[in-house]
């Protein structure tokens, strides 16, 4: 019996062992090669000219190790300071982001479904959205005092807008026929919202949450510049005031690493949770 008759894969189409790993490694190299070249050039130039304000990457890496990654293996090489700083900063960031996400989805869904509510609230929301969040920090300090509450409120107020606007836009794109059909079959308003409206708006909502997460990192640092004694932002401003430039750059690099990590993890989660939506689009196409 021939190979074709048994359904065996042809030799030319058989998957080679390790092909997936090689493809992943090649993709990773294509993404980071420019960063590696820039780091080498930075190292060479700063060593040659002895630039004060731009320490070499190796010096920054050593500062990173001393500050946050010189701990024991049992703690994943994290120092006590890292556990303190990361726990403080990330707790405030994720509480503020989650609160903004919940409020943004709730308000966005409401104004997206109701033209009357949209007309009523839109002027107020547009005014509040136009206010730069940093300008409200003095007000938040006065109301909430320095501390965790002020930092969480600063983050939540600043990042709610991408979620709110994207949710409202996503809700408005739901096909009226779907809602009419559900209404005919006796599906109540609450169930229509949870089973039809929000799933249909999910791609827009996730896009808003991803943008909000990036803004949350920025506002986390901003809120920690005012009177905080722990956190990455506090380390950044402390190093700047004492003119310890390697420490300052280490904090900047750490924030960049966290931003990249958050974005990558969120996109992975988004692809997993919205796989059904991508599949439905392909079938419809």
The string of pLDDT tens digits covering residues 217-269 is 999 999 888 867 788 888 898 889 889 899 999 999 999 999 999 999 999 99
Residues 132-169: tens digit of each pLDDT: 988 888 899 999 888 889 999 999 999 999 999 999 99
Helix spans in the chain (H):
3-6, 19-49, 57-67, 80-113, 115-130, 137-144, 148-172, 176-184, 189-192, 198-224, 232-241, 245-273, 275-284
Query: How many Cα atoms occupy the beta-carbon half-sphere of 234 within 13 Å?
Result: 18
pLDDT: which is higher, 121 or 16? 121
Integer Cα distance of 146 and 140 in angstroms: 9
Contact 278, 206 (CB under 8 A): no
Q: How many residues does the chain have?
A: 285
Contact 211, 164 (CB under 8 A): no
Confidence of residue 17 (pLDDT cuts 50, 70, 90): low
Nearest CA among 163, 158, 152 for reference residue 105:
163
Largest CA distance in the chain: 84
Residue 163's pLDDT is 95
3-state secondary structure 154-208: HHHHHHHHHHHHHHHHHHHCCCHHHHHHHHHCCCCHHHHHHHHHHHHHHHHHHHH
Terminal Cα-to-Cα distance of the chain (whole angstroms): 40
Assessment of whether the complete model's pTM goes beyond 0.85: no
Residue 195 has pLDDT above 80, yes or no: yes
Residue 43 has pLDDT above 90, yes or no: no
Integer Cα distance of 203 and 234 in angstroms: 35
Q: Determine which helix (DSSP H) or strand (DSSP E) holds 70, and give its type and residue range.
A: none
């Amino acid at each position: 019996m021939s190979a074709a008759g048994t359904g065996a894969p042809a030799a030319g189409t058989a998957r080679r062992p390790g092909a997936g790993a090689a493809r992943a490694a090649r993709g990773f190299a294509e993404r980071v090669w420019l960063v590696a070249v820039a780091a080498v050039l930075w190292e060479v130039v700063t060593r040659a000219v002895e630039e004060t304000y731009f320490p070499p990457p190796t010096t920054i890496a050593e500062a990173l190790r001393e500050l946050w990654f010189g701990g024991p293996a049992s703690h994943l090489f994290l120092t006590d300071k890292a556990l303190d700083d990361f726990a403080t900063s990330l707790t405030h960031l994720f509480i503020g982001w989650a609160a903004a996400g919940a409020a943004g989805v709730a308000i966005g869904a409401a104004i997206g479904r109701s033209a009357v509510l949209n007309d009523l609230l839109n002027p107020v929301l547009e005014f509040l959205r136009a206010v730069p969040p940093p300008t409200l920090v003095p007000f938040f300090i006065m109301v909430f005092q320095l501390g965790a509450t002020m930092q969480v409120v600063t983050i939540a107020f600043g990042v709610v807008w991408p979620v709110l606007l994207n949710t409202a836009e996503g809700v408005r794109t739901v096909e009226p026929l779907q809602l009419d059909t559900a209404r005919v079959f006796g599906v109540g308003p609450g169930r229509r919202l949870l089973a039809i409206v929000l799933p249909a708006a999910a791609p827009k909502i996730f896009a808003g949450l991803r943008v909000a997460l990036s803004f949350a990192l920025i506002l986390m640092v901003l809120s920690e510049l005012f009177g905080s004694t722990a956190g990455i932002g506090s380390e950044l401003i402390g190093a700047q005031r004492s003119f310890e430039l390697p420490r300052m750059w280490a904090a900047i690099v750490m924030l960049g690493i966290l931003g990249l990590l958050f974005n990558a993890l969120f996109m992975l989660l988004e692809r997993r949770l919205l796989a059904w939506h991508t599949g439905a689009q392909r079938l419809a196409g």
